[in-house]
Structure 1
C-alpha cells in the first residue's frame, strides 16, 4: 500500500462508540506516533465546528476539522476553505420543504457561522441528542428570515427511510443542493457538488498530499464520496451496506470496540 500521509475520520458511528466516547489515552499516544511518522490527522464530520471542538477537547492535539460535510475547513483555528449555501437558495429550499407534507421534517435546522437556527415551534424526537449535537441553538419564528452565513440545512425525519428521502430532495432541487443521509434519522443538505471528499481533497492539496496517500474512515452515506476518493477507504463493521461496498477495508471490530483506533495501529505498524 502507498505510504499514508493523512488520516481522515468521521465521528458519530465511526470514531465514537455508542456512548459517544473514545479511548482518550490510547488515542493521545497514537497522535504522538502519527506526528512522528509524518501522518496528519483530520476530523471529517457533518457536525458543526463548535460541537467537534467539544468532542475532541480531551485530546487538544486534534486541530484540523473538515466540518459541515466539507463545507467548512479549519486548521489550528484558521479557516482555510468554506462553501456556503446562498441565502436565496436556503429560503427557497426551506419554504418548499415546509410546504410539502411528504417531505416536511419533524425538525428543520440551519447550521450557520453564528448559530444553529431552529423554529421555536419544532420539537425534536430526541431533545437530549439535539442538546448534545447543537450547542449553539438560536430559536427563531421563521427560518426564512435568518441572516447568517449558512453551511448546511439539517432535517430530522425519525420515521422515514432517509436514503430514499435524500434522493427525493436531490431530485426536487437539482443543481441547488446536495442531500445525504447522515444517520440517526437525519439528512444533511449542503451546497451542490459539495461533500466530505471535496473538503478532504482541498485540505490535502494545501498540504501537497495525493488522494492515494489518504486513509479515511466512515459509516454512513455522507461518507461515500470520501471513501471512494481516497487511496484507502475504510468502512466500519457497523456501517451501512452502501459504505461497505465502496471500501477497501471493513474494520475487523465495530465502533464499540475501537474499530478506528485498531486500524490506525495497523497503519502505523504497516500491517495493512
Structure 2
C-alpha cells in the first residue's frame, strides 16, 4: 500500500535538542515527497506561527495540525480553527488572575501571542535554560503589563508552566500508564497495589488496592485519622 501522508511531532522528534533540523536534507526530502504526491504534516502542540518560524522558507510546503489539534492548515489556508469559548476564557482569567506571571501563562491565537512582562523574566522555572527555551517557543510574543490588556479574540491555546517547586506539595495516586507523568511530578506519588509493574516503578510509594479503598487509607494515615 502506498503511503499518502507522513505526520510528525516536532520538539524532541523531528527537531534536535536545540530545536534545529538539517534544512538542505529536508528540502531534498520534500522534493521527493512532492514528486510522489505525499503530504508532509507537522502535528504539534505549538502554534503554526512558531513552526513557520522554525521551518523558514520551507514552511509553506507542509501542512499543519497545530495548537494541540485546534488549528488545521492545508496549502497555506486555515481549514479549521477551534477557538476557546469566551465564557471559558473569562473563567480562566478570573481563576488565574494572580498567577499569570508565576505560571508563565501564554495566551495564543493563530496570529498573536501574549505574555505578561513579569512572566518573561520570572525565574521560578527549574533553571535559566528552561526559561529561555520556554520563551523561545513563542516567537513574536507581545509582552503586556497585565492580563486585562490581552484581547479575548480568536484564542485557541493557553500554555502555562507550573513551577516544579509546587509539585513538592502534591500527593498523587494512579494505576494506569496515563498516570505516569502525574506520578513522576508529584513528591508524594502512590501507585495502587492493583497497578501495572511499570506504574509501580514510576511511583515513590505503594498504596493498597482500589478495592481496599487505598486512596482513603493513605490520606487518613497521612493526617493521622
Alignment TM class, shorter chain as reference: 0.5 to 0.7
Q: Distance in 1 between matches of 2:82 and 2:59?
A: 26
User: Could you tell me which of 112, 115, 140 is aligned with 1:118?
Assistant: 115
Q: Contact 2:49–2:111 (CA<8 Å) still a contact in 1?
A: no
User: Could you tell me which of 156, 166, 182 is aligned with 1:151?
Assistant: 156
Q: What residue number does 1:108 align with?
A: 105
Q: What residue number does 2:25 align with?
A: 26
Q: Contact 1:42–1:62 (CA<8 Å) still a contact in 2?
A: no
> SS of the residue aligned with 1:69?
coil
Q: Could you tell me how far 1:17 is from its partner in structure 2?
A: 0.6
Q: Distance in 1 between matches of 2:59 and 2:105?
A: 32
Q: Distance in 1 between matches of 2:93 and 2:13?
A: 30
Q: What residue number does 2:6 align with?
A: 7
The alpha-carbon distance between structure 1 residues 107 and 131, as it changes in their structure 2 partners (threshold 3 A), is closer
Which runs of at least 4 in structure 1 moved beyond 4 Å after TM superposition?
none
Q: What residue number does 2:146 align with?
A: 142
Q: Contact 2:72–2:79 (CA<8 Å) still a contact in 1?
A: yes
Unaligned runs of 5+ in 1: 168-180, 186-240, 243-272
The alpha-carbon distance between structure 1 residues 57 and 107, as it changes in their structure 2 partners (threshold 3 A), is same
Q: Could you tell me how far 1:63 is from its partner in structure 2?
A: 3.2
TM norm structure 1:
0.52
Aligned length: 165
Q: Could you tell me how far 1:19 is from its partner in structure 2?
A: 1.7
Q: Distance in 1 between matches of 2:63 and 2:22?
A: 19
Q: Distance in 2 between matches of 1:70 and 1:141?
A: 30
Q: Could you tell me how far 1:54 is from its partner in structure 2?
A: 1.2
Q: Distance in 2 between matches of 1:59 and 1:114?
A: 19
TM norm structure 2:
0.62
- The answer as to 2:44 corresponding to 1:40 is no
Q: What residue number does 1:71 align with?
A: 70
Q: Deviations over 1:97-151 (max 9, x none)?
A: 446x8xx953111112442111222225344224421112122233255222101
Q: Could you tell me how far 1:160 is from its partner in structure 2?
A: 6.3
Q: What residue number does 1:17 align with?
A: 16
Q: How does 1:185-200 map to 2 (within 5 A)?
A: none
Q: What residue number does 1:85 align with?
A: 84
Q: Could you tell me how far 1:43 is from its partner in structure 2?
A: 0.8
Q: Distance in 2 between matches of 1:114 and 1:50?
A: 7
> SS of the residue aligned with 2:29?
helix
The alpha-carbon distance between structure 1 residues 50 and 61, as it changes in their structure 2 partners (threshold 3 A), is closer
